[in-house]
Every structure is written in C-alpha cells, then in structure tokens.
Amino acid sequence: MSLPSGTQTANAIAPAFQRIKDYVLQQIHSGQWQEGDSIPSEASLAKQFNVARMTVNRALKELSEAQTLLRVQGSGTFVAQQKYQSTLVQLRNIADEIEARGHQHKGVLQRLERFKPDTALLRHFELEGPHGLFHSVVVHYENDVPIQVEDRYVNPLVAPEYMSQDFGRQTPNAYLTRVAPVQGVQFSIEASQPSAEIAELLQIEAQEPCLVLRRRTRSYGQVASVSALWHPASRYQFTGSF
C-alpha cells in the first residue's frame, strides 16, 4: 500500500520504531487488519523496514501497552478489540438479559481454580501435551431465583488474568468479551438430567430436566473458552430471531 507523498516525507524523517507504529496503525484504521487478526511477525517487519528486531519489538510493545495490539505468548501478536467496534459474534451477557427484563441479577461464584484437564478436554481446546486451564463455576440468579449454572473452562494464554477477577461484580462472559474479542462460536443446545451438584445449585429436584447450552468460543486464533450453561427447563427458554 502506497502512502501520500506528504506522509512518505514525514515518515522518512521519523524514528524507525515510530514508522513501524504508524504503519501498523494505518493498516488497522484502513481496515486492512481487522480486530483479532494476526499481524506479521517481528522478523517479517524487521525485514520489511530493514531494521533490527529490537526496533520492531519496541514499536509493538508500545502499541500493546496502548491496548492497540495484544501479544499472546507462543501464538503471536493480534489486533486488539477496539473500543469503537463490536465483536464479530454478539454473545448476550446473562446479566444484561435479566436487567433488560427489569429484574435484578446476582452472580455467586462457587469455584475458581487452576485445573489439570484430561485428554478429552484438551482436544476441545485443540491443545496437546501438558497444559493447565482455568475453571470457574458461577450461579446466576434472577430476583434471587437461580436460573443458570455456568461451568466454564478458560485458556490461560488468551485470558491470563482470569483468576484475579471478581466474578461477583462482573460475569465471566462480560470479562472475556472485553479482553478476548470473539472470532467464532460453536454451540449446541440439549435437554439433560443434571448432576446432584447442579440440581442443588439450581434448587430443583434431581429428576427435573435442564436445558444445556454447550459453547466453545475462539479468539486470537485459539480456543478461548469451553462452557456448559445449565438452566432449569421449568424456568428458562431460548429465543432468537434472524
């Protein structure tokens, strides 16, 4: 992509790291690089601008600190979620759903832990070898009536600060949507009998069926989260329109 002559002159006298920053910002603002896209590697940019990788590292580090880019260890550098953009897939936050009905939402954290997954769960995250995950269980209440148990596993490479969040003040969904813009979602809905623990948390009889939304989200080229959202069938229904 060529730049206007005035811009080329200004860039010629700017420090090398600033020229790289300007180039990255131009690619984002022009729409060439979209939210969640992977940008060229440090080595590629160093070759393109004929500079040392240390110079590229400084430019990308400053853009990362400004929350324009997100650097994911072992995966690369991505265009961060921009405040003036919405995510590709809108995932409705249950707190927003409840408040839209004029009711009061409350989330009660039941479990927040570092979790060693089995092989089956690792396959869901498309991971091989030893990897740890974050695991949370939150019960969501509508006017003090439990309507959802959120059982969620999270990839630490995508949301490394997950364990330090207060999920009584914000939902896991709201936090993840903010720090990890969604690139894709896979989901299924099924009727299932709850475990004794789920039934107790939902305050229902063990034989009452639940509607279960199983969802896997992707962000920054990786599986970010795998969750099972349990709802008592007598208190909840899924609706939608196209």
Let me know whether 36 and 143 are in one domain: no
Query: Distance between CA atoms of 199 and 209, rounded to whole angstroms?
Result: 9
| pLDDT at position 129 | 79
Specify the number of domains making up the chain.
2
Let me know whether 123 and 190 are in one domain: yes
Residues 6+ apart with CB under 8 A from 99: 105
113-170 confidence digits (pLDDT tens)? 999 999 899 999 998 878 899 999 999 999 999 999 999 999 999 999 999 999 989 9
| Residue 62 covered by a domain | yes
Domain boundary among 25, 56, 79: 79
Let me know whether 148 and 225 are in one domain: yes
Query: Distance between CA atoms of 242 and 36, rounded to whole angstroms?
Result: 25
The CATH number of the domain holding residue 209 is 3.40.1410.10
Averaged pLDDT score across all residues of the chain: 85
| Residue 85 covered by a domain | no
Report DSSP state, residue 175. Answer: H
What is the domain range of residue 206? 94-232
| pLDDT at position 133 | 97
| pLDDT at position 240 | 58
| Residue 238 covered by a domain | no
pTM above 0.85, yes or no: no
| pLDDT at position 91 | 60
| pLDDT at position 8 | 45
Let me know whether 47 and 145 are in one domain: no
| pLDDT at position 99 | 87
Let me know whether 73 and 127 are in one domain: no
| pLDDT at position 84 | 34
| pLDDT at position 1 | 42
State how far the alpha carbon of 76 is from the alpha carbons of 43, 45, 106, 221, 223, in Å.
12, 13, 37, 9, 15
Residues 6+ apart with CB under 8 A from 26: 1, 3
The amino acid sitting at 208 is E
| Residue 84 covered by a domain | no
The CATH number of the domain holding residue 53 is 1.10.10.10
| pLDDT at position 220 | 85
**SS3 category, 132:** coil
Q: Angle, to 10 degrees, between the axis of helix 42-49 and the axis of helix 53-65?
A: 120
Which segments of the chain have a pLDDT < 70?
Answer: 1-13, 81-91, 239-242
